[in-house]
Each structure stands twice: as C-alpha cells, then as structure tokens.
Chains A and B, each alone.
Chain A
Amino acid sequence: MKSRSIVLLSTLLRSTSQWNIYKHCKDKRKKGRIIGNTVGYAILFLLIMAYCVFTCVGYGKLGLADSIPGTCALLVSALAFFFTLMKTNGYLFGFREYDMLMSLPFSPKTVAGCKFLYMYVKSLGWFLAVSLSMMIGYGIYAGPSVIAYPVWILLTFFLPIVPMLAAAFVGFLIAKVSAGFRKTNIVQTVLIFVFILLMFASRFLIEDVVRNQKVDQMVSKMSGAMDHATHAYPPAQWFADGVSVLRLSDVLLLVGLSILLFEVMFLLVGRSYRKINSGLLTHGGSKKFNMNERRKRPVVQTIAAKEWRRMTGSATYMTNALFGELLVLILGGASLFVDLDAVLKKILHDAPVTKEMLIPAIPFIVYFFIGMVATTAITPSIEGKQYWIVQSLPIPKKTLYQGKMLFNMYLTVPCTVFSTICLCISARASVLTTVLSVLLGIFLCAFSTCAGCASGIKHMRLDWENEIEVVKQSAAVSLYLLPNMFATMILTVLVVVIGMKVDVVFVLLGMMLVEILLAVVFYRKAMKLAQRTI
C-alpha cells in the first residue's frame, strides 16, 4: 500500500505533466503546442548548460577551478531561493484545489509537505542542468577523483532544499501575517516588496564588506567574493568541501540538515496551515453598500479598469507586475537626494563613466525596470476559465486588447515620466533633453505594451492550473522578456557610446523614431493576432 504522501505527490506531478496531457488529449493543435514547448525548453536547458560550462572554462583557464564547486553551490542556492520565494503564495498557500485536497484524509502537514516537494521536483531539472554542467567543467579543469562525481550528483539533490525551505518559511510568515487582514492580497504584496527590497539592501552591504578585502584583479575579485560568500553560507561550504576534499562529515551535514529542516518546517507549517489558508481564501464582505451615482465610461477604459481589478485581486500577479514600477519610483526619488557620480563610481567599480555620459541612456535605464514585465503578455492568458466573459462581450476583439494595452500604459507611463524627470534633474540635463527623454520613455512603454500584447495573444494559454504558470512561467512572458531585456541592455550601452560622439538630442530623436516604428509594427501585429482569436 503506497503512503498517502507518495500518492499525493505523484498525483500533483501527473496533474501538471505535459506527457499525460499529450497522451490523453485529442486536440492535434494542443499536441503540437506541447511538442513546441518541449523543444523550446530543451533549447533553453542546453543554453543554460552551455553558459555554465563556458563559465567553468573561464574559471579553469584563469586557474580558479577550485572555486567552481562553491560558485555552483551558491548559484543553485540563489536560484532555489528566488524561484521558491515568488512561488510560495499560489503553490504552498492559497492554491485552487485547496478545498478538494483538504477534504480528503490528508493531514495539513502532508498537504503542505507534498506541495513543497512538488515545487522541488518541478524545479530540480534547472538545478541539475546548472550543477551537472558545472561538474563537467570542474572535472575537466580540476581532475577530481572518480568518487567526486557521484558525491556531486547526490549533493545536487540536497543543495536546493535549505534555500527553498528558507524561502518557503519567508512565504509562510508573509502568508501568516496577511491572513489576519481583510485585504490579504495588498498586505501580501507589500510584505513581499519590503522583503525583496531588504534583500537588495543587504546585498549592497555584503558587497561592501567583500570589497573591503581589497582584491586587486577583477576576476580574482569575483572569485574572492564567491569564496567569501561560500564561507558565509555553510551549506555551500559543505557542498564545496564534500565534492572537492570528499569530507564525509560535510556530506552528512548537508543531507542531515536538509532532512531535519524539512521535518521541522512542515511540523510548524502544518500547525497553522488550515488557519492561514482559511484567512487567505475566505473574506467577509462589507456589511453595507451604498449605491452612489454611477459613471459611464468608454469601453476601452472599462476593460483597463477590469484589468486593474484582476491584478489587485492576486498577490502573485501584483508582485510581478508592479515590481519594476516600484524600483523605478525608488530609483527616481533617490536620484534627487544622492550624488549620481558617486553612485556610478560605486556601481561601476570606479570605471570612468560620468553622469553626463549617461544622459542619453536615462530612458533605457528606466525602461530596463519598467519593461521587465508587460501586463499585456499576461492578460490574455490570465482570463483562464473566465475567458467566456470577454468572449461573450459585444465588442470587437481589437477593442478588448486595446483596453488591455491601455492598462499597461496606465501602469508604466506615470512611473516612467516621474523617474525620467528625476534622473534628468539629477544628471543636470537640459530642458530639451529632459522633454525628449520623457517622450522616448513613453514610446518605449508603447513598444513594450504592443510587443507584450503580440506575445501574449500569440502564446495565449487558458488551461492553466495555477496563475504562477501564466505570470512567471508562460511562453508568452519568456518570449517577451528575454529578447526585450537583452535588447535594452545592448541599447543602453550603444546610446552611451554614440552619445559620446553625437549630440544627445540627435541620439534621442533617432531612438524615438526607432521606437515609434517598432511600436507601430508590434501594434499592427497584435491587432492582426487579436482578430484571429476566437
């Protein structure tokens, strides 16, 4: 007789297995999409593995092969922590099938533990891809004994557990606090933002400490930083020592601590699991509603308002959609009170870059954060099972997607304008440059909105189980985000370089023309795709 935990875990995995859908689905288009996604993921895995191997080659060539295990441990741990932190709410707490699972004879600890293990197994492929490719790199340059390889593989399975548990614990605390409020989503979002900002702040503090060690060369500085961080995080040190000097005590410590923490964590979570989920999933409506004078709005604005309410109704969606905007507001506000030259010196490790040189790049710096997420890439799929509502509305599909685009513009443009003006003031840009920078920022927002919408409609997926699949893991979001992010980074450097030779006004005007053209192209593409939707 299988234990209930195994039954639940295997069912959770099967319920989201693409292979299970492929086997039983009769829709050929859906089958084709599954094959396409699998090929896409395989390519992404290969790219990540290639990146890791080449990183190790770099380490090896510089004689720093001994730092590879520590770097690998930190990389896997950091990935595990951040992947889990963003997923805890939605996977561990407040998930859709909560009622069904909790009405079955599972203890709360079993449900929470299996949900965690489900997250772990689902992410394990990424961790293995990183770790095993770095093991190959380490094998080539350090030539360890044969026994190091099975130890490395074994420890890779345990390495993500501690950081995942730490992230789940943070998620648990956030869920526990917010469950006591009526506006749980807002409280959860604010707490997640506060935690992430604290993490960012502590990162700079740690970097300061590391930099005080005064290592001369840049590469050895990186390696030195990694070594320091490895020492600061014991599980990474145990992994590094376990695979490099094959110390059994370190292997046992990592394995033992992972299992012990798992048990303790879910004993703790299990105790208040029902209470937290009750708080997150049920809300008392307000007692009295006064019907005020109602307002008639244009359809496009009504759709935009609907999207706003959809976003604020979900902490997961809100955290992802508003994070860039929040960072940009902080960046803009802070730039008025700090010396930009000093900040640049600090961030760029004393590289000879001045604030004047950065003026043409201001709109792109702001856009780097703003363009991280386009809600238009999310909104088509987030309709999910409620898609029938917009389907049955007596409006053309174009209007529907124009409304979704307007919502993204409402979110992005005010933050872009504010932050660009602040940065321009701080960099002492001329009025004309400021105006052009603001305009370029707005056109970048328009481009992001239209490109996101085209990707969102093209890769629309309504049959999701958990909204994290749409907000964080969908093809629509990835195919918008990755090219956009790399293009923005390249453009930022490019405009700085061109700006050193050409007048900043011409650079900005040139970029504006390019962005207008791109926005129009993607707008037309999105509208064409919109008309094809059912």
Chain B
Amino acid sequence: MEKKAVLEIKGYTKVYPGGKKAADNVNLTVESGDIYGFIGHNGAGKSTTIRAVVGVLDFTEGEILIDGKSVKKDPVACKEITAYIPDNPDLYENLTGIQYLDFVADVFRIGAKEREDAIRKYADMLEITDALGNLISSYSHGMKQKLAIISALIHDPKLIVMDEPFVGLDPKASFTLKQIMHDLCKEGVAIFFSTHVLEVAEKLCNKVAIIKQGRIIDAGDMETVIGNHSLEEVFLEVQDEES
C-alpha cells in the first residue's frame, strides 16, 4: 500500500494569554497506515496539540494539514475525515447511547443501513449493545469511552486522533481497541494517539514522538528512536537529558 501523508503538523506553536508557550514549533507527519504514539509528561503539550489537530483549539503559528487540507482554512472538510476520541468524553448525558450515536451519524450523513451495521459491529465488539437504550448519565467512565470510540468509528475516518484512549477501559475492551487499531491501520487509516502506557505504545506503534515542555525532543520510526532499548528507558533518558 502506498504511504501518503494524512496529518502534517508544520511549525505548530501555541502561546497562552500571558505568554506561556504550550507548544513550540512542533513538526511531525503521520502517514496512512501509521500508528503514531505521542508521549510526554503531564502538561507537556500533548492534549493541546491534539485539540488543535482536531480543530477544537486555535493556535498561534504554523499549519496543520489533514489530507492536504488546512485545519484553519477548511476546518469542516478536515473534520469530515477525522475522528476524535478525547480522554474524558463530555457526551450529552441526558441522551441514550443510541440517540447519541444517531446524532453523530446524522452529522456525518451516514445512511441508515451503514450506520446500523457499524454500530452493531463496534458495539458488539466492545460489549455495550445492551446498554445503548440507557441514558448516558447512567454509564460508567469506561462505557462512555466505549460510546465515544463507536461514535468516532462509524463514519470510516481517514485519521483517528485519540487522547489517552485506554484510560477507563476494561482489559478486554483495551485488547479489542488495540485490535481495531491494527485492523484500521491495515486498511490505510492513520492513527495518532497520546498515551502514558509506554509498553502499549512500544508494542502498538510504528512511529513515536516525545514531547517535553511543548517541544518535540525526539520523533520518528519506533526502531530508530528506541534502538536496542525499551521505549521507557529512552523516554526517561531523553527527559533527564533535556532537564
């Protein structure tokens, strides 16, 4: 399969009011079929970068392109091919699970048959089908996370952006999500996600970027970045070196 840049972050810089830099000249490229891990300490700038990629946050300098389209200039076109799974999804608590999924499917203009098939497939895989008729307010954190995952996958996105996707998932759901990621990657979908679980990142990702205080301090193919070491050793080493 021919590799093609799906996400390009070029010189992305985010400065908060007051002058603090959340991200400083971040550059990275995620290609189709990549599972790209984004790791760093708490407050390093991972979530800010991710939120800028999915068009939620404004940024100060640079350019973010999804499938060649600018997030700033053409946000709707970018979001039509992107899926976002936040770390702590704020869903409409007073809707039922199926009402929420129908809302997302309507927004992405998915036909009745396709949405039914996609919902059934992923809800069965994540074992949440029985709870879809209940109000989201009655869901646990993990169930909300599963619902967010299904809603992100029903429109066949080209790019999936996830912020700490494994937090709150039970072991079986974590395993299922990893399988889904592998399957989608084989179909040419690009996946960009942040995580603190370095063992997972090392096993799952073919590329990785390490961010510290808003700057990328190492990035590239997993083998090149870690060499003969574990990702954990490399991560701790580069963090210490920089400080």
A24-B134, A465-B94 known; A181 vs B17 contact (CB < 8 Å): yes
B75 near A2 with CB under 8 A, answer: no
B96 at the A interface (CB under 8 A): yes
Interface size on B, residues (CB 8 A): 43
Nearest first, the 3 closest Cβ-Cβ pairs linking A and B are A284-B16, A284-B20, A15-B92
Contact between A103 and B90, CB atoms less than 8 A apart: no
Per-position binary interface string of chain B over residues 123-147, scored 1 when its CB falls under 8 Å from any chain A CB and 0 otherwise: 0000000000111011000000000
Which residues in chain A, 101-121, are within 8 Å of chain B measured between CB atoms?
Answer: 102-108
Per-position 1/0 for B103-138, Cβ under 8 A of A: 110111100000000000000000000000111011
Cα distance A287–B92 in the bound complex, in angstroms: 35
The answer to whether residues A282 and B94 also contact, given A2-B106, A99-B56 and a CB cut-off of 8 A, is: no
Asked if B133 contacts A100 (CB within 8 A), the reply is no
Query: Is there contact, CB below 8 Å, between B135 and A24?
Result: yes
Check: B55 CB closer than 8 A to any chain A CB.
yes
A4-12, A44-52, A230-238, A504-512: which lies at the interface: A4-12
Contact A285 B20 (CB under 8 A): yes
Indicate whether A503 reaches chain B with its CB closer than 8 angstroms. no
* Given contacts A21-B94, A21-B135, A102 and B17 within 8 Å (CB-CB): no
B48 within 8 A of A: yes
- Is A293 an interface residue when CB atoms closer than 8 A count as contact? no
Per a CB cutoff under 8 Å, which of A4, A180, A285, A463 touches B137? Answer: A463
A254 part of interface (Cβ distance < 8 Å): no
Contacting B93 at CB < 8 Å: which of A2, A26, A281, A463? A463
Interchain CB contact under 8 A, B20 and A8: no
Question: What's the minimum C-beta distance from A272 to chain B, rounded to whole angstroms?
Answer: 9
A104:B89 contact, CB within 8 angstroms:
no
Which residue in chain B gives the minimum CB-CB distance to A272?
Answer: B58
Nearest CB to that of B22 among chain A residues? A284
**Chain B residues whose C-beta falls within 8 Å of the C-beta of A278 in the assembled complex:** 57-58
Interface assignment of A221: CB less than 8 Å from any CB of chain B: no
- Residue A391 is within 8 A (CB to CB) of chain B in the complex: no
Other-chain contact of A103, B48, B56, B134 (Cβ < 8 Å): B56
The reply on A137 being an interface residue by CB < 8 A is: no
- Whether the pair B107, A104 counts as a contact (CB closer than 8 A) is yes
Task: Kindly state whether residue A521 has any CB partner on chain B within 8 Å.
Answer: no
Most B Cβ at <10 Å: residue of A14, A184, A281, A284: A284
Residue A57 at the chain B interface, CB threshold 8 Å = no
With known contacts A98-B56, A105-B79, A24–B104 Cβ distance under 8 A: no
A97 touches B17 (CB 8 A): no
Q: Which of A7, A108, A278 has the most CB of B within 10 A?
A: A278
Distance in Å: Cβ of B138 to nearest Cβ of chain A: 8
Q: Which of B92, B96, B135 contacts A97 (CB 8 A)?
A: B92
How many inter-chain residue pairs (CB < 8 Å) link A and B? Answer: 113
Whether a CB of chain A sits under 8 angstroms from the CB of B181 is no
Interface assignment of A525: CB less than 8 Å from any CB of chain B = no
Whether, in the assembled complex, B25 has its beta carbon less than 8 Å from a beta carbon of chain A, the answer is no
Please indicate the chain B residues that have their CB under 8 angstroms from the CB of A11 in the complex.
92, 95, 99, 103
Q: Cβ of A25 and Cβ of B135 under 8 Å apart?
A: yes
Could you tell me if B84 and A103 are in contact, using CB atoms closer than 8 angstroms? yes
Per-position 1/0 for A152-183, Cβ under 8 A of B: 00000000000000000000000000011110
Is B9's CB within 8 Å of the partner chain A? no
Q: How far is the CA of A283 from the CA of B57 in the complex (A)?
A: 12
Question: Chain B residues with Cβ under 8 A from A181's Cβ?
Answer: 17-18
Contact with A along B77-91 (1 / 0, CB 8 A): 101101010100111
Contacts A/B (CB < 8 Å), 17 sampled: A20-B95, A25-B135, A26-B134, A98-B56, A100-B86, A103-B54, A103-B82, A103-B84, A104-B108, A180-B17, A182-B16, A274-B55, A274-B75, A275-B58, A284-B16, A284-B19, A284-B20
Tell whether A105 pairs with B95 under 8 Å between CB atoms, given A182-B18, A278-B57, A283-B16.
no
- Nearest chain A CB to B206 CB, angstrom units: 25
Contacts of B197 in A (CB 8 A): none
Q: Does B76 contact A (CB under 8 A)?
A: yes
Least CB distance from A534 to B in Å reads 16
Interface flags for A456-485 (1: CB within 8 Å of B; 0: not) read: 000000010100000000000000000000
Cα distance A99–B55 when bound, in Å?
Answer: 9
Complex Cα–Cα for A184 and B16 (A): 12
**B68 interface residue, CB < 8 Å from A?**
no
Task: Add 11 more A-B contacts to A24-B96, A103-B84 (CB < 8 A).
Answer: A11-B103, A20-B94, A103-B86, A105-B76, A179-B17, A181-B17, A274-B55, A278-B57, A282-B16, A282-B22, A465-B93
* Cα A2 to Cα B108 with chains together (Å): 11
Quick one: which of A32-84 are within 8 Å of B by CB? none
> Once bound together, how far apart are the Cα atoms of A275 and B57, in whole Å?
7
A residues apposed to B, CB below 8 Å: 1-2, 4, 7-8, 11, 14-17, 20-21, 24-26, 96-100, 102-108, 179-182, 184, 274-275, 278-279, 281-285, 287, 463, 465
Does A99 contact B86, Cβ atoms closer than 8 Å? yes
Say if the beta carbon of B182 comes within 8 Å of chain A.
no
Known contacts A278-B58, A463-B137; A106 and B91 CB within 8 A of each other:
no
Query: Contacting B91 at CB < 8 Å: which of A1, A97, A179?
Result: A97
The A-contacting residues of B in range 20-68, CB under 8 angstroms, are: 20-22, 43, 48, 51, 54-58
Shortest distance between the CB of B139 and any CB in chain A (Å): 12
Select B107's contact among A4, A184, A279, beta carbons within 8 Å: A4
Q: Are B94 and A15 in contact (CB-based, < 8 A)? A: yes
A17 contacts which chain B residues (CB < 8 A)? 94
Complex Cα spacing A25 to B138, Å:
9
Chain B residue nearest to A287 (CB atoms) is: B20
In chain A, what residue has the closest Cβ to B59? Answer: A278
Report the bound CA distance from A8 to B138 in whole Å: 23
> Considering only CB atoms, which chain A residue lies closest to B148 in the complex?
A100
**In the complex, A105 Cα to B159 Cα: how many Å?**
14
Known: A21-B135, A285-B43. A274 touches B94 (CB 8 A): no
A269 shortest CB reach to chain B, Å: 14
What is the distance, in angstroms, from A22's C-beta to the closest C-beta of chain B? 10
**A99 and B108 contact, CB distance less than 8 A:** no
Nearest chain A residue, comparing its CB with the CB of B108: A105
Given A20-B94, A24-B133, A285-B43, residue A100 in contact with residue B58 (CB < 8 A): no
Contact partners of A96 in chain B: CB under 8 A:
90
Chain A residues with CB under 8 A of B55: 102-103, 274
CA distance A451 to B25 in the complex (A): 56
**Nearest-CB residue, chain B, relative to A16:** B94
Residues of A within 8 A of B84 (CB): 99, 103
Q: Which residues of A contact B93 (CB under 8 A)?
A: 15, 463, 465
* A279 CB contacts on chain B under 8 angstroms: 17, 58
Q: Are A7 and B106 also in contact (CB < 8 A) when A20-B94, A99-B51, A99-B90 are?
A: yes
CB-based contact A465/B56 at 8 Å? no
